[in-house]
Amino acid sequence: MRKNVEQRGIQLPGKEKDLSIYQEFFTFLQEHIPERLSIATGKVRSKKHILNRKCDILIYRKWCSRLLNMAGGYVIIDSLHCFLTLEQELTTENLYSHVALTNAMKSLYESVNEVEPGDAIPVFSAAVAYQSSIPLLSHKIAIKDAARERDIPVNHEPDLICVLNNGLIIKDWENGGDYKVVETGPDTLMWFYILLLEYLDRNGEQELDLRNYIKNVREYKEY
């Protein structure tokens, strides 16, 4: 697994999450997302409330160079397109933590924007892990367990969980917002990137459909 990921420009972390490895992934995203978007790490606020928890990665629309200064160093929720949690090992504990963060972030957006009950909230939530000793199916079940235990609405749940060189857990809005697991193996980073770009394009500005440029179309196990 280490060889495959490093070939794509991302080094695997050691036993502890450290800033140098975080910077590797941060730089990877900087080099691969549309230029209209910016990346930061920090906290998010609305015009009324502050989410008092630091996020690993925030991808947002910076409509002027002094936006963060004007907002007191916070990313404004209305300009936020995506937030990501980075983990070395995806555990049930940190998955639950990401579910809670997602609920808080989407609630913050909903508090200042009109959202119909059950409609997707245009703040994309993703967690990326380098490995997992727990099967993806178990993580899929854990997400729903956490949402049920905390009475979290379907549209406040995470959108995508990625375990590199393993697979993806994807929120399937076409089937009522349930989750499906796709075992993408060595293609996981590619599909994470493609899905990320599609989710970031909430205003329909993307000109390319990267799915059309995949050289070898493969069938993946889904469940």
Q: Which amino acid is at 89?
A: E
Q: Which amino acid is at 97?
A: S
Judged by DSSP in three states, 190 sits in helix
Instruction: Give CA angle at 50 (198, 73), nearest 5°.
Output: 80
Q: Is the dihedral of CA 16, 18, 23, 24 positive or negative?
A: negative
Looking at residue 16, what is its pLDDT? 45
pLDDT higher than 90, residue 108: yes
Q: Which amino acid is at 206?
A: Q
Judged by DSSP in three states, 221 sits in strand
- Judge whether 206 and 197 are in contact, CB under 8 Å: yes
pLDDT tens figures, 69-91: 888 889 999 999 999 999 999 99
Looking at residue 9, what is its pLDDT? 37
Under DSSP, the state recorded for 35 is: T
- Judge whether 145 and 109 are in contact, CB under 8 Å: no
Distance CA 9, CA 146 (A): 34
Instruction: Kindly indicate the confidence band of residue 5, based on its pLDDT and cuts at 50, 70 and 90.
Output: very low
- Judge whether 158 and 143 are in contact, CB under 8 Å: yes
Q: Decide the pairing of beta strands 160-163 and 167-172.
A: antiparallel
Domain boundaries, the chain: 2-204
- With CA atoms as reference, report the closest residue to 126 among 84, 180, 155: 84
CA within 13 Å, CB half, 184: 23
The token duo for 219 is: 């069938």
pLDDT higher than 80, residue 3: no
pLDDT tens figures, 139-193: 999 999 999 999 999 999 999 999 999 999 999 988 888 999 999 999 999 999 9
Partner residues linked to 59 by β-bridges? 39, 82
Judged by DSSP in three states, 118 sits in coil
The token duo for 30 is: 């900087």
Q: What Å distances lie between residue 126 and 60, 82, 138, 190, CA to CA?
A: 14, 8, 17, 15
